[in-house]
């Protein structure tokens, strides 16, 4: 449901210098979503008819993220004049000129603010018909935040920034979360009046609160019930803290949905991952991007899945996989590397020290040990012997390998692509398969074994090997040590 009297302005034009990063601050992800994506999703949940993102620093990169996470949002460009007040002014200018509803202002660097908290703020704002209602928070360490200054009667007087505050003001534990609801008319009236006569030489949005208070308008500060929700991310310490908090919420949601998560502290699950009931996630595992895990599957320990689909009751142990499909009851790992385009059929196996890429491995087929399988299609119920390599690259181009159903390859076979092995065929141990193998054929490429009797005694006389060989020759056949 859209609220036609509601607009949200997301402030995201700042440089975010404290991050010391090439990446714009609001594009740093937590739980797989850039911070500004979280904020835009919250705006959508709130049902605002208008969503405006104010940008300047790395404008095009941030605008691309806005288009991805909230195509309905409008981008407003802030000019060179710095400050949250100037940013809000640019945001306001992007709203319809006759909009006279409520304007929620949030920062792009407060990713854990949820629609529930914002909804409550809006409810208070509307019930009191205030000109401005701000979300405050009482915190243990207010360093860095703007402080809420109240008069002797507890009425909100103004907000003072850390850099402009007196020692007495710095001792105030009630901080400005940077989240507000304003009557559009109040913003229109006061934003153009902001001065930049402060320690940072910026036009502060927070000064609108002081101007409204001085004009005798009704304003209120509502302390948030869960202060950690409004913590801003200005540096990497805060980034990891908020990421851990969001992760804890996500882990808990899955646990309550019936997923066993053995060690929440070392399990990282992105926001949009789906996991079925009775799945088990073992320690040190990361489920990222658009990964889905079906019911009963077992993931980990020590596993990373990025944009993967794991079927029912599959087992994936100590694996690293990206853009891979793992079928029901299939088994992966331990120590497997599945690169994009891997599709493992139901009941199939990609085993230990196996790397796959663009490889379709059919139902019940197995690549159990020490292999590289790339640009390959394998049929059903085929077994690839230990140490197989598909040589898909000839220094110029990549070529495909096609292996049929019910094929058994001997250990250490090299498939030199392009090559096709027919259904039911076999390869001998160590075969280098350069030519197509017809169905049912046995491919051998190694010369028959030749034993040169007495070679060690002749060429390595006096060594332990020669002595061992001589001892063996002295023993009657069939005896053992
Ligand atoms: C701001 C508040 C402070 C509050 C804190 C909460 C002001 C003056 N101060 O401080 O009272 O306690 O948030 O987290 O508002 N931005 C622009 N254009 C600019 C400058 C900033 O769009 O010219 C954006 C930033 O990208 C950011 C947000 O506004 O998303 C807040 O800016 P930031 O520099 O982080 O302000 P704080 O110092 O955190
Ligand atoms: Mg900030």
**Alpha helices, DSSP H only, in 24-142?**
35-46, 59-69, 84-93, 115-128
Rounded average pLDDT over 351-366: 98
Q: Which ligand 1 atom is nearest residue 159's CA?
A: 11
Q: Is 137 in the pocket of ligand 1 (CB under 6 A)?
A: no
Rounded average pLDDT over 443-449: 90
Among 468, 369, 449, 360, CA closest to 411: 369
Among 90, 107, 172, say which to mutate for ligand 1: greatest number of ligand atoms within 8 Å of CB: 107
Q: Is 179 in the pocket of ligand 1 (CB under 6 A)?
A: no
Residue 118 CA to residue 140 CA, distance in Å, equals 22
Res. 479: pLDDT tops 80: no
Q: How confident is the model at residue 481 (pLDDT cuts 50, 70, 90)?
A: low
Domain ranges of the chain: 3-230, 236-443, 453-481
Q: Is 146 in the pocket of ligand 1 (CB under 6 A)?
A: yes
Q: Which of 147-156, 378-387, 471-480 has the weakest average pLDDT?
A: 471-480
| Assigned architecture for domain 3-230 | Alpha-Beta Complex (3.90)
One CATH from 3.90.76.10, 2.160.10.10, 3.30.1950.10, 2.60.40.10 for 236-443: 2.160.10.10
Mean pLDDT for the chain overall: 96
Q: Which ligand 1 atom is nearest residue 205's CA?
A: 15
Q: How confident is the model at residue 352 (pLDDT cuts 50, 70, 90)?
A: very high
The pTM is what? 0.92
Among 34, 40, 58, 84, say which to mutate for ligand 1: greatest number of ligand atoms within 8 Å of CB: 84
Specify the residue with its C-alpha closest to ligand 1, atom 22: 13
Distance of CA 454 to the CA centre of its chain: 63
Catalytic residues: 369
What confidence tens digit (pLDDT) does each residue in 87-142 have?
Answer: 999 999 999 999 999 999 999 999 999 999 999 999 999 999 999 999 999 999 99
Asked whether the bond before 418 is cis by omega within 30 degrees of 0, the reply is yes
Can you give the pLDDT at residue 1?
81
Residue 290 CA to residue 308 CA, distance in Å, equals 7
């Amino acid at each position: 449901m859209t609220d036609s009297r509601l607009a949200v302005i997301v402030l995201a034009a700042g440089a975010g210098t404290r991050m010391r990063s090439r990446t714009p601050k609001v594009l740093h992800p937590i739980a797989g979503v850039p911070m500004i994506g979280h904020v835009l999703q919250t705006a959508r949940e709130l049902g605002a008819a208008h969503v405006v993102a104010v940008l300047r620093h790395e404008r095009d990169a941030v605008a691309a993220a806005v288009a991805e996470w909230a195509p309905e949002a409008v981008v407003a460009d802030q000019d060179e004049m710095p400050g949250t007040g100037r940013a809000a002014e640019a945001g306001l200018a992007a709203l319809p000129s006759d909009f006279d509803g409520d304007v929620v202002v949030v920062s792009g660097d407060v990713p854990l603010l949820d629609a529930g908290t914002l909804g409550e703020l809006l409810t208070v704002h509307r019930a009191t018909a205030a000109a401005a209602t701000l979300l405050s928070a009482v915190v243990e360490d207010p360093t860095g935040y703007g402080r809420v200054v109240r008069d002797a009667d507890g009425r909100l007087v103004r907000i003072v920034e850390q850099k402009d505050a007196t020692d007495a003001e710095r001792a105030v534990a009630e901080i400005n979360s940077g989240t507000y609801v304003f009557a559009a008319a109040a913003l229109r009236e006061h934003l153009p009046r902001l001065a930049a006569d402060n320690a940072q030489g910026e036009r502060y949005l927070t000064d609108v609160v002081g101007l409204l208070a001085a004009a005798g308008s009704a304003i209120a500060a509502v302390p948030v019930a869960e202060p950690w929700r409004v913590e801003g991310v200005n540096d990497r310490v805060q980034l990891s803290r908020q990421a851990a908090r969001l992760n804890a919420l996500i882990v808990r949601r899955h646990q309550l949905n019936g997923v066993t998560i053995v060690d929440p502290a070392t399990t990282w699950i992105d926001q949009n991952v789906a996991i079925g009931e009775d799945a088990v996630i073992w320690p040190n595992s990361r489920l990222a991007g658009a990964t889905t895990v079906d019911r009963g599957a077992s993931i980990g320990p020590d596993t990373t899945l990025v944009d993967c689909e794991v079927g029912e009751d599959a087992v994936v142990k100590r694996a690293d996989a990206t853009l891979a499909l793992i079928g029901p009851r299939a088994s992966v790992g331990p120590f497997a590397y599945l690169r994009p385009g891997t599709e493992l059929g139901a009941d199939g196996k990609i085993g230990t020290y196996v790397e796959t890429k663009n490889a379709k491995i059919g139902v019940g087929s197995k690549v159990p040990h020490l292999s590289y399988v790339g640009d390959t299609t394998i049929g059903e119920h085929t077994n690839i012997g230990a140490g197989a390599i598909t040589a898909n690259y000839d220094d110029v181009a990549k070529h495909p390998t096609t292996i049929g159903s019910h094929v058994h390859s001997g250990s250490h076979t090299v498939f030199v692509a392009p090559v096709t092995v027919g259904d039911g065929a076999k390869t001998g141990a160590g075969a280098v398969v350069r030519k197509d193998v017809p169905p049912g054929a046995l491919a051998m490429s190694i010369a028959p074994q030749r034993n040169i009797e007495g070679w060690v005694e002749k060429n390595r006389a006096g060594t332990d090997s020669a002595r061992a060989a001589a001892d063996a020759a002295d023993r009657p056949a069939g005896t053992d040590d």
